[in-house]
Every structure is written in C-alpha cells, then in structure tokens.
Amino acid sequence: MKILVTGAAGFIASHVADAYAALGHDVIVLDDLSRGSRNNVPSSRRFYQVDIQDRPAIDKLFAKEKPDVVNHHAAQMDVRRGVREPIFDAQVNILGSLNLIEASVANGVKRFIYAATAGAGYGEPKEMPVPENYPINPITPYGVSKHTVEHYLFTFHDLYGLKYVALRYGNVYGPRQSSQGEAGVFAIFSEQMLAGIEPVIYGDGSKIRDYVYVSDVAAANVAALDRGTCEIFNISSGVPTTDLDVFTEVRKNLNKDQIGCKYVPKRPGEIDRICLDVSKAKNLLQWRAQVSLQEGARLTTAYFQREASQSKVSAVPANS
C-alpha cells in the first residue's frame, strides 16, 4: 500500500514510517520540520516539506501521490504553547487535520489513522485504569484540539464513509525522543545526567503516568492498517509509573548514582495521575505492549549515550 505519514520527521511518526517500510509499504513523508529532523527520514523515502495548514500544497500532494492510507501524526504538540496560543493550537491541530481529512475524502483514501492523546484528553480521572468511554474533560487547549479531531473523523465516516482508527497514546518514549517537549522525561533526564546536571522533578516525584515504548506504538499503527475500523483505542502499557521510578531507571542505566534530583512545584495544568485500560486494544487490535519499562529504559538510555558520544567526537577539531 501507499501510505502517507504526516509528522514523520518527528519522534513517534518516524518509527511508524520505518515499521511500514519494513513491511514493504510505499511510505511518503510529510513534515514541516518545525520540530522534526530531516535526519529521521531516509534519503530513499519521498519527502514533502509541507505545513498541514497549507491547503493548496496538501491538495497538490494528494492529487500527485494518491495515498491508500493516511497516518496523521503532525501536530502542534507543545502543551504550554497551546495554553499561551490557543488559536494557533486550534489552527494546526483542528484546521490542519481537517485539511487532511477533506483531502482524504476527495482522493479516495481507504483508511485514516489518527494519533490522538490520552492524558491530555481525559483530564484528571476519578478512576483508574481509564477506559476509552471515560468522559473526556481536557484541561488544556491541546487536549481540546486533539480530541476534537476524533469527532470530525466520526462525522466524516458518517457523511462520506471515510474509515478511520484513532489511537490515544499514553506517554511514549524511546530513541529519537526530543528533550525539548515537556513530555520527553526519559530524554530530558538522560541528557541532563549525561551532562552532569541534576534533573528537575515537578512535584514530589509521585506523579503517575502510563509509559509505552515507541516500538510498541509503531506496532499498534501496523495493527491499525487492517483492524479496529472506526474505533478508538488507548495505546499504552497499562502500568502506573511515577516520575521517581523513571528517574531511578535512567540513573541506574547510566551509572550516575552520584546524581540526585531537584524537586520544584508542580506546573499548573498537569494532571496528577493516569493509567489506561488497554483491554480494548488487546481484544480488537490484537495488540499489547511488549517492552517493559526496564527494557525500554535500557534501550533509551543506550541511545542517548551513543548520541552524547557522537556529539563529543564531532566536537573535537580534526587537527587535534
């Protein structure tokens, strides 16, 4: 199949694109490079540097490539920026997504796979684990905009027959993760410890998240190619993990026992605890997370160690 993956110069979608290509699919990449890296896109892969807000460019791309499947990960993903600039957040995440959805209908796309969000959508849950039918009460503009697209997909299926799958991610981590986003705690802790910097923990370290390794997320996107039609799925491990748990795993794998952490007040708008019910994905997608937090932490910290070593080598003058 010919699959268009948006945002595939970024962390998660680049792994999804690689998984599709490994299965022999013809993968096309769309990314505006505002957050992603061209290095995450193999030179052999067709790449379009396009902003999803640019409707003429989107229409031109769809008319030329005629993808069978659209996998949509491109987004304004900075929760804090969404709070500061809710109009910009909506323009990218809602209107930009609508550009892709309308272009998909107009060009006969057979399936639309959407990267949604769990924690930012559900808000502060009163019960755990949280199932897909739990009330949606986002407490940030980002959560509102990401969830709104799910409603449009339902509507466009009803109006035009567009088949879709929405995947609500937990906290994704792994190689290529950026330390520039507030959700990239594995990347942040790894880079700080490797630089000898004491990491910051917001709150007392007891905040609970549900982490999922990026290869497992890529596998869920593969499963969504032919399963789970017109359904919404939580995609995560279903294992509650504290900030202090993550700090401890990263420090252990980097052999940085001498480094402590600094506790500062929790940031406004952050939820205290969330863990997801992933039974629906197990039953209908026939998917479940395979990588434990311990193994994922080992693989992730090893990646950041290699990156740090390569940076040091490249920083050494050639005549030294």
What would the pLDDT profile of 95-130 be if each residue is shown by its tens digit?
Answer: 999 999 999 999 999 999 999 999 888 888 889 999
Question: Has residue 306 been placed in a domain?
Answer: no
Q: Give the pLDDT confidence score for residue 320 in this predicted structure.
A: 42
Question: Has residue 165 been placed in a domain?
Answer: yes
Q: Report d(CA 246, CA 183) in Å as an integer.
A: 12
Write the CB contacts of 68 (distance below 8 Å, at least 6 apart in sequence).
1, 2, 3, 109, 110, 111
Q: Give the pLDDT confidence score for residue 98 in this predicted structure.
A: 98
* Phi-psi sector, 66: left (phi>0), alpha (psi -120 to 50), beta: left
Amino acid letter, 263: Y
User: Domain of 71: which CATH number?
Assistant: 3.40.50.720
- Give the whole-number percent of the chain exceeding pLDDT 70: 95
Residues 49, 32 contacting (CB under 8 angstroms):
yes
- Give the whole-number percent of the chain exceeding pLDDT 90: 86
pLDDT band at 45 (very low <50, low <70, confident <90, very high): very high
**Partners of 168 in the beta sheet?**
116, 234
Instruction: List for the chain the helix, strand, coil content (%; round to 5).
Output: 45, 20, 40
Question: Has residue 167 been placed in a domain?
Answer: yes
Q: Give the pLDDT confidence score for residue 105 in this predicted structure.
A: 98
Question: Has residue 244 been placed in a domain?
Answer: no
Nearest to 157 by CA among 71, 65, 66, 229: 229
Q: Which two tokens stand for residue 320?
A: 């030294």
Helices 243-254, 185-194: inter-axial angle, 10-degree rounding: 40
pLDDT digits (tens, 9 = 90+) for 56-101: 999 999 999 999 999 999 999 988 899 999 999 999 999 999 999 9
Q: Given a cut of 90, is residue 222 above it in pLDDT?
A: yes
Domain limits for position 228: 2-172+213-235
pLDDT digits (tens, 9 = 90+) for 282-301: 999 999 999 999 999 999 99
Question: Has residue 203 been placed in a domain?
Answer: no
Question: Has residue 245 been placed in a domain?
Answer: no
- Tell me the mean pLDDT in the region 24-37: 96
pLDDT band at 200 (very low <50, low <70, confident <90, very high): very high
pLDDT digits (tens, 9 = 90+) for 139-193: 889 999 999 999 999 999 999 999 999 999 999 999 999 877 556 899 999 999 9
Query: What are the catalytic residues?
Result: 142
Question: Has residue 246 been placed in a domain?
Answer: no
Amino acid letter, 257: D
Question: Has residue 46 been placed in a domain?
Answer: yes
pLDDT band at 317 (very low <50, low <70, confident <90, very high): low
Please count the structural domains in the chain: 1
Please give the angle made by the CA atoms of 119, 124 and 128, to the nearest 5 degrees: 80
Mean pLDDT of the chain: 94
Hey, is 316 helix, strand or coil? coil
pTM: 0.94
